[in-house]
């Protein structure tokens, strides 16, 4: 079985729920505390590709810090812009992001994990 990687924020309820779901199902996984060890632009580019579709799904647009940073929650950011934004404002990454092999999901709601399991 391929090990999963979860990009986790311990303060986030959904992120904690995703970890619980993985533990309950005894799914081997690695936890990356992305706020403690910010992700490189290369890793962020990889995540954007793995999630596929709209890269904007990786942005926490409703977070008050999004507007505080002068960002427009209505704008459709390109993949390159999403990478640049998350490299500068890592706390604005939607969570949890769970990766299995070449695929990833933003596990909100946590049932989206089932797409990988």
- Locate all alpha helices (DSSP H) within the chain, ordered by sequence: 13-24, 41-51, 64-68, 79-88
4-7/29-32 β-pairing: parallel
Integer Cα distance of 72 and 3 in angstroms: 36
12: annotated active-site residue: yes
Q: Which of 5, 12, 17, 31 is catalytic?
A: 12
| CA 79 from centroid of its chain's CA atoms | 14
Residue 68: how many other CB atoms lie within 10 Å = 9
- What positions carry a catalytic annotation? 12
């Amino acid at each position: 079985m391929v090990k999963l990687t979860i990009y986790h924020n311990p303060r986030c309820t959904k992120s904690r729920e995703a970890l619980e779901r993985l533990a309950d199902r005894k799914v081997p996984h690695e936890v990356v505390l992305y706020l403690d060890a910010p992700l490189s632009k290369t890793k962020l580019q990889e995540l954007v590709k793995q999630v596929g579709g709209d890269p904007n799904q990786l942005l926490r647009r409703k977070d008050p810090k999004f507007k505080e940073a002068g960002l427009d929650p209505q704008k459709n950011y390109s993949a390159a812009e999403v990478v640049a934004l998350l490299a500068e404002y890592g706390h604005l990454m939607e969570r949890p992001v769970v990766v299995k092999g070449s695929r990833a999901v933003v596990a909100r709601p946590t049932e989206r994990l089932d797409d990988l399991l």
